[in-house]
């Protein structure tokens, strides 16, 4: 994590899209809506939510799950895991919806002091599990059709891109690890997440790690080829909802987060069951064809999981972290169970009913 003192300049560069200064339906709390959430009056509270793609905001506007919240929502679009971790650590946002599940363990592994359950600056409060990873993987290792890459071993000597710090980075490292390669065996080209798909599609970079949804148009057109799925290289492809610890310690923001997590759980359950409706958002936000948009919708579908110490999702994270240390993505062992907070399990369980 960067020093907090450096955040002002960094955030000025990476924060874009929606902000609290824009007038939205979510920002205008109806007087008919009760402001009491779990016994806490959240009237006048603003929850700052970091998102990664404009399509997320379009999806929320196309549904009613986030209408009439008893608190204000300020949406902040951030480009990548690194800037999002900075924003959380620098008190620029309260939660991130869709942050790489590897981002918090990586921040902990790179911190000067060990993060414990008591002093961790960030907490994973929910996991988003891919809905149908076998048929519709959320992440892939992809190659330009003219790169001559048909297997992971073919990556040797090729240009190889990913966005440093998050799941694309982790999957990229695991792909090399599975093939018996190291970072020195490829020509690494680090790019921002928004640029990876176009770089592979145009051939500016021969291969890389990306979300499937970002490559939907290129896959449909045959401009890129799927070399391996995230699952095939040992990566489960989860993302997360992450809160800064300071937000969890604030009674009003804590209550707002709990309500938001419950709404997000219902939203994801509906989205997974209605990909055709979700596809409309991809058509609007990314100008995809109907077929391409449907692929994007299905590869981003997910189920929200609680993160109790013995919950299945937490166990997946523990095993993944061990593998990420062996592959070199994480510089040291991290106690993942100290980085999760299960206070919203009841809201998640109710939302999944």
Residue-wise pLDDT for 202-242, tens only, equals 999 999 999 999 999 999 999 999 999 999 999 999 999 99
**In whole angstroms, what is the distance from residue 11 CA to residue 35 CA?**
31
CA dihedral 134, 139, 143, 144 (to 10 degrees): 110
pLDDT tens for 312-328 read 999 999 999 999 999 99
In this prediction, residue 22 carries a pLDDT of 40
Higher pLDDT, 304 or 23: 304
In this prediction, residue 79 carries a pLDDT of 84
Phi, psi of 276 (to 5 degrees): -65, -40
* pLDDT at residue 137 tops 70: yes
Contact 162, 172 (CB under 8 A): yes
Q: Is 180 exposed, middle or buried (0-12, 13-18, 19+ CB in 10 A)?
A: exposed
Give percent of the chain with pLDDT exceeding 90.
83
* pLDDT at residue 7 tops 70: no
pLDDT band at 5 (very low <50, low <70, confident <90, very high): very low
* pLDDT at residue 21 tops 70: no
**In whole angstroms, what is the distance from residue 133 CA to residue 135 CA?**
6
Residue 134 token pair: 């076998």
Contact 169, 329 (CB under 8 A): yes
In this prediction, residue 31 carries a pLDDT of 52
Higher pLDDT, 27 or 75: 75
Pinpoint the alpha helices (H) of the chain. Answer: 7-14, 54-61, 81-89, 103-110, 167-178, 193-202, 216-221, 245-248, 251-273, 275-286, 290-300, 312-327, 345-351
Q: Is 313 helix (H, G, I), strand (E, B) or coil?
A: helix
**In whole angstroms, what is the distance from residue 113 CA to residue 48 CA?**
27
* pLDDT at residue 286 tops 90: no
* pLDDT at residue 40 tops 70: yes
Q: Could you tell me which of 50, 121, 52, 51 has the C-alpha nearest to residue 89?
A: 121
pLDDT tens for 174-195 read 999 999 999 999 999 999 888 9
In this prediction, residue 223 carries a pLDDT of 96
pTM above 0.85, yes or no: yes
Average model confidence (pLDDT) across the chain:
90
Residue 237 token pair: 């492809």
């Amino acid at each position: 994590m960067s020093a907090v003192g450096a955040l002002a300049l960094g955030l000025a560069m990476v924060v874009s899209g929606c902000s609290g200064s824009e007038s939205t339906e979510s920002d205008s709390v109806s007087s008919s809506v009760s402001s009491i959430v779990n016994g806490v009056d959240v009237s006048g509270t603003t929850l700052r939510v970091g998102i990664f793609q404009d399509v997320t905001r379009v999806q929320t506007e196309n549904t009613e799950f986030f209408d009439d919240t008893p608190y204000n929502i300020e949406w902040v679009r951030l480009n990548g895991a690194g800037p999002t971790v900075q924003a959380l650590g620098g008190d620029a946002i309260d939660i991130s919806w869709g942050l790489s599940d590897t981002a918090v363990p990586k921040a902990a592994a790179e911190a000067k002091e060990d993060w414990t359950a008591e002093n961790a600056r960030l907490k994973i409060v929910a996991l988003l599990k891919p809905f149908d990873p076998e048929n519709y993987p959320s992440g892939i290792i992809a190659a330009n059709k003219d790169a001559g890459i048909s297997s992971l071993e073919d990556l040797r000597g090729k240009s190889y891109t990913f966005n440093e710090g998050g799941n694309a980075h982790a999957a990229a490292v695991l792909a090399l690890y599975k093939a018996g390669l190291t970072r020195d065996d490829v020509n690494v080209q680090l790019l921002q997440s928004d640029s990876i798909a176009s770089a592979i599609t145009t051939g500016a970079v021969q291969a890389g790690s990306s979300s499937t949804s970002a490559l939907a148009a290129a896959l449909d057109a045959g401009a890129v080829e799927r070399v391996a799925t995230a699952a095939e290289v040992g990566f489960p492809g989860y993302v997360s909802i992450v809160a800064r610890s300071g937000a969890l310690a604030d009674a009003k923001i804590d209550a707002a987060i709990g309500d938001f997590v419950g709404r997000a759980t219902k939203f994801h359950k509906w989205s997974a069951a209605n990909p055709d409706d979700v596809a409309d958002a991809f058509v609007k936000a990314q100008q995809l064809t109907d077929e391409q948009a449907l692929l994007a919708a299905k590869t981003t579908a997910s189920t929200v999981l609680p993160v109790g110490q013995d919950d299945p999702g937490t166990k997946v994270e523990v095993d993944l972290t061990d593998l990420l240390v062996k592959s070199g993505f994480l510089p040291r062992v991290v106690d993942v169970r100290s980085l999760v907070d299960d206070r919203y399990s009841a809201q998640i369980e109710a939302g999944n009913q």
